[in-house]
Chain A
Amino acid sequence: AQSVAQPEDQVNVAEGNPLTVKCTYSVSGNPYLFWYVQYPNRGLQFLLKYITGDNLVKGSYGFEAEFNKSQTSFHLKKPSALVSDSALYFCAVRDSPQAGTALIFGKGTTLSVSS
């Protein structure tokens, strides 16, 4: 079965520093990987996705993610964190067509950016 893991419940960074939110995956076949962000009491917002092609994927709000097949990772990165980036971040993988092509989510990582 497809799965993703987010090994850190919380990541703390200072404003202006680079940030990384980690995600590893386990899939059979080619992975379709996603990152979403959720601000307090809000819905999910799509950040970026990897389907195929370039291993470095650029997304919304200055975020990017690096797909690493050998390490089965898809870490989310940003060169310079903002206080407004503080939110809950989810990594997700698309399940097989036999399982309805649903997104399978990690447990989430809370990003806290201090000023």
Chain B
Amino acid sequence: NAGVTQTPKFRVLKTGQSMTLLCAQDMNHEYMYWYRQDPGMGLRLIHYSVGEGTTAKGEVPDGYNVSRLKKQNFLLGLESAAPSQTSVYFCASFRTSQGQHGYTFGSGTRLTVV
């Protein structure tokens, strides 16, 4: 089925470890986003990309890096994980086409940093 796929779904990291979260979409969407969700904070934008090879910072970018080497993939990296990065991470993609203004979200990655 077409959509946004996030891997992994769950992960436990030790403080200082690194990891990469993968977001893949098969809808040929130009725009892709990474959010984190924390209780009482809603979803906050970490980084976004408006096309292959381009990325930009969102509201809470510190401690994260991203890459968009292929249009269909948007990677979120944590170089040195901290307990404050314990969160649920959501990826989303977006494309305006024929009057549609739809965003598609992945099912999320639950990350715990101990």
- Which residues does chain B contribute within 8 Å of A108, judged by CB atoms? 40, 42
Q: Pick the contact of B105 from A9, A43, A51, A104 — CB < 8 Å?
A: A43
Interface of A is mostly: loop
Q: Is B77 an interface residue (CB 8 A)?
A: no
What range describes how many residues of A lie at the interface?
20 to 34
- Classify chain B: how many residues form its interface, as a range: 20 to 34
B56 interfacial by beta-carbon distance below 8 Å: yes
A43 CB to closest chain B CB (Å) equals 4
Who on chain A is nearest to B105 by CB? A44
Q: Mark A19-62, 1 if CB is under 8 A from B, else 0.
A: 00000000000001010000000111010010100000000000
Contact with A along B10-33 (1 / 0, CB 8 A): 000000000000000000000101
Q: Are A107 and B101 in contact (CB under 8 A)?
A: no
Chain B residue at smallest Cβ distance from A107: B42
- Docked pose: A93 CA to B83 CA in angstroms: 30
Distance between A87 CB and nearest chain B CB, rounded to angstroms: 14
Give min CB distance, B98 to chain A, whole Å.
13
Residue A102 interfacial (CB < 8 Å): yes
Pick from A42, A43, A49, A102: contact of B101, CB below 8 A.
Answer: A49
> Which A residues touch B41, using CB under 8 A?
107
Question: Which residues of the partner chain B approach A106 to less than 8 Å between Cβ atoms?
Answer: 42
Distance (whole angstroms) from the CB of A45 to the closest CB of chain B: 9
**Interface positions of B from 79 to 111, Cβ below 8 Å from A:** 90, 92, 94, 96, 101-103, 105-108
3 nearest A-B pairs in the assembled complex, by CB-CB distance: A100-B48, A105-B42, A107-B42
Given A42-B107, A100-B31, A101-B94, 11 new contacts (CB under 8 A): A43-B90, A100-B48, A100-B58, A101-B31, A102-B48, A102-B58, A103-B92, A104-B45, A105-B42, A107-B40, A108-B40
